[in-house]
Chain A
Amino acid sequence: MELRNKDFSAEPIVLEIKDLVVEVGSKSVLPPILKGISFDIRHGETVCLVGESGSGKSVTSLATMGLLPKDALKVRGGEIRLKGENLVTLSPGQMKQRRARDLAMIFQEPMTALNPVLKVGAQIMEVLDLHTRLSASEKRAKVIDIMEQVHLPDVERIFESYPHQLSGGQRQRIMIAMALILEPALLIADEPTTALDVTTQKQILSLIAELQEKHGTAVLFITHDMGVVAEIADRVCVMRHGEILETGTIRQVLEEPRHDYTKKLLSAVPSLIPREPRPDAGATPVLVTKDLGKTYRSGGFLAKKSEVRASYGVNFDLSPGRTLGIVGESGSGKTTVARSIMRLIEPTEGQILLEGDDIAHLSTSAMKPKRKKLQVVFQDPFRSLNPRWTIARSLTEGPLNYGVPYAEAIAEAKRLLQIVSLPEDALKRYPHQFSGGQRQRIAIARAVMLRPDVLVADEAVSALDVSVQAQVLDLLDELQRQTGIAIIFITHDLRVAAQICDEVLVMKRGEVVEQGPAGQVLHAPQHEYTRALINAAPGRFWDFAAHKPLVA
């Protein structure tokens, strides 16, 4: 695999955006969301818009589709020309005609982008109902054909399925089929693989590339993931705060980034090469699991009994100051393991030894004194803090529950806010007044308020931008060095695992398939599945921080 390197200068321009300005509301006093951006995409070319949240990349795509939220955002100036025609001046009715026929879009979240109460076949067919006058059998044939082109298995059955009966990857294929059935000149893909597992992501990326080749579609690809950019882009536009800072071919941007921000973005991409192993002090493990497992049973009276083995045979020991990574795709059972250890659920098999005591089956009241030794940071910082509580209340709730006097708790909260680099007046504020990264740091501060021995971080950096992600990882690292806390780090992202973990445990369908020191597992994987995971990591052939290909 290497960077794309094709010359498109002879191809006709499909999309041309000139000085596009998008503003908030009608009489706005805020600075514009897009401050006059310009770029173009040629026939068959893929242009990646790269940037962190709030950079305006999604607004660009929605403006092009004419789908900006009514009243909230407005195009104030500039042109969006599709095959020469300025879309900005079209009436809503005319724009409706263009959508799906001349330009189409696929979205980030395949789980929610399809209507859950309509069959997927009918949803694809709807595009034809709206834009063509084919007979019913011609339409059906065309739908079946595009479903085959996106390599869906068992097309006749899937045609009659509802979205919830399909996997995430299959749903995204349906979305792609829906977008490309009328062979639009322009396809806009807004983070189309972000919500998917790496192995599925790889398949979807190559599917988009394949169909693009076949139909000569111009693709506007929006992503925050430099790895994905390296795989798919012909040209790259780096965006920040509604401006395009740098444009160039993929090779130019990755090898000789001109703008400081681009350099910063690239160096924030965690490397797939595991960090130097830290010496194991050989301290007594604080947490040990023995054959830990959880089987969900349902049914019973009058209904069929069924069993799901969410996880089984999990064995590890974790010493103070060490980090254990649990890596796997969705459905692998990694979160079940985390919940069992936290005793948010009761495991059905095995033992969990916390400082030598088995907590696997403790009652709620017997568990209470143990709880403060185990704390957790969740994935979504936007939903894991109570929006109606001040930060002070969220932070002190735990210690107050354990009988710590308020003055002492609040003093500790202030100290920790300093450690997570937030101002002291943050205590009086509410979660919505902070950014995602700040909230996640608050969540970490909350977790360590009780001075736990073990911190479970469940996809704690997955929802964050790379630069913020790097900060949060650094914060965890520093906390660990200061307090000697043991961390269980649950992630689907091998790059992150490589940077933070001492040991790694790879899970697949509830089973631990490989386990060992991070360097060994990630550098010389033994199990086929681990190898498949590493192979699927996007942009694995490129060393982003060093601006050059990775020599294996």
Chain B
Amino acid sequence: MLTYILKRILSVIPVLFLVSVFVFLMLRLTPGDPAAILAGDNATPETLERIRDAMGLNEPLLTQYVKWIGGILHGDFGTSLISSVPVLDLVSQRVGPSISLAVLTIIIAICVAIPMGVIAAWKHRTWVDYLVMSFSVLGFSVPVFLVGYVLLLIFSVKLGWLPPQGFKPLSAGIAPFMERAILPALTLASIYIALIARMTRAAMLDVLNEDYIRTARAKGVGDRRLLFVHALKNAAVPIATIVGAGFALLISGVVVTETIFNIPGIGRLTVDAVLARDYPVIQALILLTATLYVAVNLLIDLSYSLFDPRIRY
């Protein structure tokens, strides 16, 4: 088990290296110049050149890359080209809101979707099943911004129950946090509820056809115990996979929601950085997301052995 984890962590290094090279080259090959954006429309070519020099953009690509990577190895991710704030500070301020939102979203999605999927499988081909599946199609096909604005309209504008926008960290207390995070979390959760419910239903349908379910029934096991003790644990591996993948996607995919609800998270930072061609910030953000992906995937793989004793590392 430990050697397995060690091996998996070691294998992250080449992945991150490739990501860093790729991101670095991509940014420099795409049109757009941070110096031009910073200097404004009226800058003379000389000013522009001076700014470029100051930013280190005139050095050969290899030198730039080695400097950047060297910095990272010392814990220095550089400073923002635009705001001159160290990238590490910039990102770490924004990680909190995004992660707490993502966690809340996933918790909501799991709590709603798994029972939905289980019940749909149990009531296979009845109106309950069709209802769950229709909801799931809806969750997939309605765009996030629409869900977000509709929820805002109902709960903030019409009913006035919740503040429409903004963010309070968890450290400010559960109630203020939930008050502002619940709508964006529900918005984000809609698609994941659809996804996880579908997966749960499919996995449960497979499992419910297994011989050991018949054995359990032959023992006199009732429906609830049959579904949640005998079947669900067997169906857990594919469900965990989709939950994990969903979580990883969430971290990077919250742009729209953060914009609608005006939350100072990673998503908006990314958009701002890309628009300003703020290379160090973009690079750091992408490296961060890649690391998160890999870490979440490792956790998912390890979680398999919790559900299924046949899986051992």
Residues of B with Cβ closer than 8 Å to A?
3, 6-7, 210-212, 214-222, 229-230, 233-234, 307-310
Contact = CB atoms under 8 A, between A and B. Distances in A.
Interface string A137-162: 00000000000000000000000001
Contact of B214 (A96, A98, A107, A117): A107
A162 B217 contact: no
A88 B220 CA distance: 16
16 contacts: A96-B221, A96-B222, A100-B218, A107-B211, A107-B214, A112-B211, A113-B212, A113-B214, A114-B212, A116-B234, A126-B216, A127-B219, A130-B221, A164-B309, A164-B310, A178-B219
B221 A126 contact: yes
A100 B212 contact: no
Interface in A112-137: 112-118, 126-127, 130-131
Nearest to B234: A117
Which of B3, B7, B219, B222: most chain A Cβ within 10 A?
B219
B214 A67 contact: yes
B3 A302 contact: yes
Contacts of A126: 216, 219, 221
A113 B215 contact: yes
A115 B216 contact: yes
A410 interface: no
B211 A162 contact: no
B307 A130 contact: no
Of all A-B residue pairs in the complex, the 8 with the closest CB atoms, nearest first, are A99-B220, A112-B211, A115-B212, A162-B309, A105-B218, A113-B211, A100-B219, A100-B220
Interface string A247-282: 000000000000000000000000000000000000
Nearest to B210: A112
Interface size of A as a range: 20 to 34
A116 B308 contact: yes
A99 B219 contact: yes
Contacts of B214: 67, 107, 113
A118 B217 CA distance: 15
Given A175-B215, A302-B7, A117 B308 contact: yes
Contacts of A96: 220-222
A115 B309 contact: no
Nearest to A164: B310
A260 to B, nearest CB: 35
Nearest to B306: A117
Contacts of A179: 218
A344 interface: no
Contacts of B6: 302
A101 B308 CA distance: 30
A115 B220 contact: no
Contacts of B218: 65, 67, 99-100, 104-105, 107, 179
Given A116-B308, A117-B233, A162-B309, A67 B217 contact: yes
Nearest to B212: A115
B205 to A, nearest CB: 13
Given A96-B220, A97-B220, A116-B310, 4 more contacts: A99-B218, A115-B230, A118-B230, A127-B219
A325 B251 CA distance: 61
A330 B230 CA distance: 29
A65 B238 CA distance: 32
A175 B233 CA distance: 20
Contacts of A99: 217-220
A115 B219 CA distance: 12
Nearest to B213: A115
Which of B6, B212, B217: most chain A Cβ within 10 A?
B212
B3 A117 contact: no
A435 to B, nearest CB: 22
B42 to A, nearest CB: 61
B239 to A, nearest CB: 13
Interface in A73-114: 96-101, 104-105, 107, 109, 112-114
B177 to A, nearest CB: 36
Nearest to B308: A117
A178 B233 CA distance: 21
A551 interface: no
Contacts of A130: 219-222
B220 A101 contact: yes
Contacts of B212: 112-116
Nearest to B230: A115
Contacts of B216: 115, 126
A162 B310 contact: yes
Contacts of A164: 309-310
A114 B219 CA distance: 12
A552 interface: no
B36 to A, nearest CB: 50
Interface in A151-200: 162, 164, 175, 178-179
A112 B213 CA distance: 10
Nearest to A301: B7
A117 B219 CA distance: 17
Which of B214, B229, B230, B233: most chain A Cβ within 10 A?
B214
A498 to B, nearest CB: 32
A98 B3 CA distance: 50
Contacts of B221: 96, 126, 130
B118 to A, nearest CB: 16
A524 interface: no
A58 to B, nearest CB: 11
